Amino acid sequence: MIDYRKILLLSFDGVSQRTINSSTGHARNTVSEVIQRATNLGITELNDTMTNVWLEEFLYPEKQAIEKGYYPVDWEKVHKELQKKNVTLKLLHHEYAISAKEVRKIPYAYRTFAEKYGQYAQKFKLTMPLRRKPGEIMEVDCWYNTFYSRSYNR
Report which of residues 73 and 142 the model is more confident about: 73
The answer on pLDDT for 152 being more than 60 is no
pLDDT in tens, 52-110: 888 888 888 767 655 567 888 998 899 999 989 999 999 999 999 999 999 888 899 99
Across-strand partners of 70?
A: 106
Domain definitions of the chain by residue range: 4-63, 68-124
pLDDT in tens, 110-139: 999 999 998 888 877 766 667 777 777 776
Q: How far apart are CA 151 and CA 57, in angstroms?
A: 63
Determine the pLDDT at residue 23.
87
Q: How far apart are CA 96 and CA 112, in angstroms?
A: 13
pLDDT in tens, 13-24: 898 989 988 888
Q: How far apart are CA 111 and CA 153, in angstroms?
A: 48
